[in-house]
């Protein structure tokens, strides 16, 4: 099933049709997907042992650590993540490989026919497709990332996961999950299941109180970061510790102090559910784990060609207050090691709190250049992002395109090559990778 040169792939045509089956992109409910899964023979009941991962920040990175460690141990791993950056295929990984075009297109076509035009959201119908594929292809483990929230997320139709993981909870998607950390934590806690172990990554006190209360109602005693397990950088290494002892591991390949917390959550999870894994798998996995657009260095390609000579360029999909704080912390660490002028190139959606995200860069970044996010998404106008940046104390300008922003910076006279961080939206990150000719594999 190969597309003609210049023609859209069959899966893209199908996905576009499926997108039209429900007027809302997000409509949290389980009824529609349960109906479709029943027609498919309930594949969610035939999945490999599943680790269910919810949270606001760090879900994808935690899944990346889990997958790298398991694969380093020689296991076959399915993974389901979202959103994709360049191609939808990135969301579904079958036994270590991204789903191929023929398999994806055939599965989507079958599901479209069985659904028979009934209302269902894009995420629900594609989650059903993923479950069907995961049930049909053998694997030792499935890593299942929640799309949004937890309680009414389409992935939450699974029965008894091997473990439920909740990464840091923070303010995001307030229109759907609530405006307080407590309300959002309650939605995330919806993935907890009676009889299934729970692992909580680093949390605020308010979020942890809600998560622990919900766990207690289910008779679950969770493992809690900072209490039951600890992970920290030390002398260029990653030191992990729990009641079973201490492990001296390589530092994560993924940059940023926050990645030590994500790595520790992954290690704690696997030490609990797969105590047979050798130390060597943790050593290789932590050092090898990779996750695109999470402080990804761009050193070659179209972006580097447009940027100022010898600029250091980073790409990050962070887009909420906690994401901004983690990114700014990483930039401060970089500045301590190798000072450079820091410029933020930022595009954001109207649904995100741009002021909360950008505040963390005040006093750290020399300036901000605002750019648009693709027309398919509810992007803020660059001028609006620039006004918000100015309002939180960041000198700012606006450009009509990312390429214009890079050329504008390249035309400047820099005392030393700058450090550029392109951030504010995973959709912008996807556009950057596509422009750069880089497709995640």
Q: Is the dihedral of CA 308, 311, 317, 321 positive or negative?
A: negative
pTM of the model: 0.95
Environment class of residue 210 by beta-carbon count within 10 Å: exposed (0-12), middle (13-18) or buried (19+)?
buried
Query: Which part of the chain has CATH 3.90.190.20?
Result: 296-436
Query: Which part of the chain has CATH 3.40.1190.10?
Result: 10-288
- pLDDT tens track for 157-185: 999 999 999 999 998 777 778 889 999 99
pLDDT of residue 206: 96
Could you identify the residue written with the tokens 């990779």?
290
| 3-state class (DSSP) for residue 21 | coil
* C-alpha pair distances (Å), 92 with each of 77, 129, 131, 156, 166: 11, 9, 10, 17, 21
Pairing of strands 342-346, 312-315: unpaired
* CA gap 51, 268 in Å, rounded: 12
pLDDT of residue 352: 92
Residue 234: which H helix or E strand, with range? strand 229-234
For residue 437, the tally of other CB atoms under 10 A from its CB is 11
CATH class of 296-436: alpha beta
Q: Is the dihedral of CA 259, 317, 6, 117 positive or negative?
A: positive
Radius of gyration of the chain (CA): 21
The residues, ordered by sequence, that sit 6+ positions from 380 with a Cβ below 8 Å of its Cβ are: 347, 348, 349, 350, 354, 373, 388
The residues, ordered by sequence, that sit 6+ positions from 72 with a Cβ below 8 Å of its Cβ are: 280, 281, 282, 283, 284, 285, 288
- pLDDT tens track for 285-301: 999 999 999 999 999 89
pLDDT of residue 6: 56
From first to last of its 441 residues, the chain has per-residue pLDDT tens of 444 445 689 999 999 999 888 876 667 789 999 999 999 999 999 999 999 999 999 999 999 999 999 999 999 999 999 999 999 999 999 999 999 999 999 999 999 999 999 999 999 999 999 999 999 999 999 999 999 999 999 999 999 999 999 999 998 777 778 889 999 999 999 999 999 999 999 999 999 999 999 999 999 999 999 999 999 999 999 999 999 999 999 999 999 999 999 999 999 999 999 999 999 999 999 999 999 999 999 998 999 999 999 999 999 999 999 999 999 999 999 999 999 999 999 999 999 999 999 999 999 999 999 999 986 678 999 999 999 999 999 999 999 999 999 999 999 999 999 999 999 999 999 999 999 988 888
For residue 110, the tally of other CB atoms under 10 A from its CB is 13
Closest to 72 (Cα-Cα) out of 274, 296, 236: 274
How many Cα atoms within 13 Å fall on the side-chain side of residue 354? 28
| 3-state class (DSSP) for residue 337 | helix
Query: In the structure encoding, which two tokens stand for residue 25, read together?
Result: 């992109």
What distance, in Å, lies between the first and last C-alpha atoms of the chain?
20
Overall fold of domain 10-288 = 3.40.1190
374, 383 in Cβ contact below 8 A? no
349, 380 in Cβ contact below 8 A? yes
108, 120 in Cβ contact below 8 A? no
pLDDT of residue 171: 83
pLDDT of residue 27: 74
Pairing of strands 198-200, 163-166: parallel
- pLDDT tens track for 315-364: 999 999 999 999 999 999 999 999 999 999 999 999 999 999 999 999 99
pLDDT of residue 376: 66
């Amino acid at each position: 099933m190969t597309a003609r040169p210049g023609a859209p792939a069959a899966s893209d045509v199908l996905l576009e049709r499926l997108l039209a089956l429900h007027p809302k992109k997000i409509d949290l409910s389980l009824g529609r997907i349960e109906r479709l899964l029943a027609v498919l023979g309930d594949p969610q009941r035939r999945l490999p042992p599943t680790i269910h991962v919810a949270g606001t920040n760090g879900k994808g990175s935690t899944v990346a650590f889990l997958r790298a460690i398991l694969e380093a141990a020689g296991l076959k791993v399915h993974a389901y993540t979202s959103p994709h950056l360049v191609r939808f295929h990135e969301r579904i990984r079958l036994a270590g490989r991204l789903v191929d075009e023929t398999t994806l297109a055939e599965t989507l076509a079958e599901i479209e026919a069985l659904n028979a035009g009934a209302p269902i959201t894009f995420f629900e119908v594609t989650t059903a497709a993923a479950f069907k594929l995961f049930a049909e292809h053998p694997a030792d483990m499935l890593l299942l990332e929640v799309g949004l929230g937890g309680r009414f997320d389409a992935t939450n139709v699974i029965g008894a996961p091997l473990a439920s993981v909740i990464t840091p909870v923070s303010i995001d998607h307030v229109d759907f999950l609530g405006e307080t950390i407590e309300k959002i934590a309650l939605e995330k806690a919806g993935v907890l299941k009676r009889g299934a172990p729970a692992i909580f990554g680093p949390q605020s006190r308010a979020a942890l109180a809600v998560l622990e209360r919900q766990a207690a109602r289910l008779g679950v005693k969770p493992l809690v970061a900072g209490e039951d397990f600890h992970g920290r950088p030390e002398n260029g290494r990653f030191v992990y510790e729990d009641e079973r002892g201490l492990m001296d591991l390589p530092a994560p390949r993924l940059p940023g102090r926050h990645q030590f917390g994500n790595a520790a959550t992954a290690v704690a999870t696997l030490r609990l559910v797969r105590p047979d894994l050798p130390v060597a798998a943790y050593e290789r996995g932590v050092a090898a784990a990779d996750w695109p657009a999470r402080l990804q260095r761009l050193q070659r390609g179209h972006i580097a060609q447009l940027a100022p000579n010898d600029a250091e360029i980073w790409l990050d999909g962070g887009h909420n207050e906690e994401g901004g704080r983690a990114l700014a912390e990483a930039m401060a660490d970089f500045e301590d090691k190798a000072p450079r002028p820091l410029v933020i190139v930022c595009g954001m959606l109207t649904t995100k709190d741009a002021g909360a995200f950008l505040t963390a860069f005040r006093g750290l970044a020399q300036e901000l250049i605002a750019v648009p996010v693709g027309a398919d998404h509810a992007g803020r106008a660059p001028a609006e992002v620039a006004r918000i940046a100015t309002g939180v104390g960041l000198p700012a300008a606006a450009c009509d395109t990312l390429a214009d922003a890079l050329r504008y910076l390249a035309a400047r006279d820099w005392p030393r090559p700058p450090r550029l961080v392109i951030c504010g939206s995973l959709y912008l990150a996807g556009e950057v990778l596509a422009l750069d000719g880089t497709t995640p594999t």
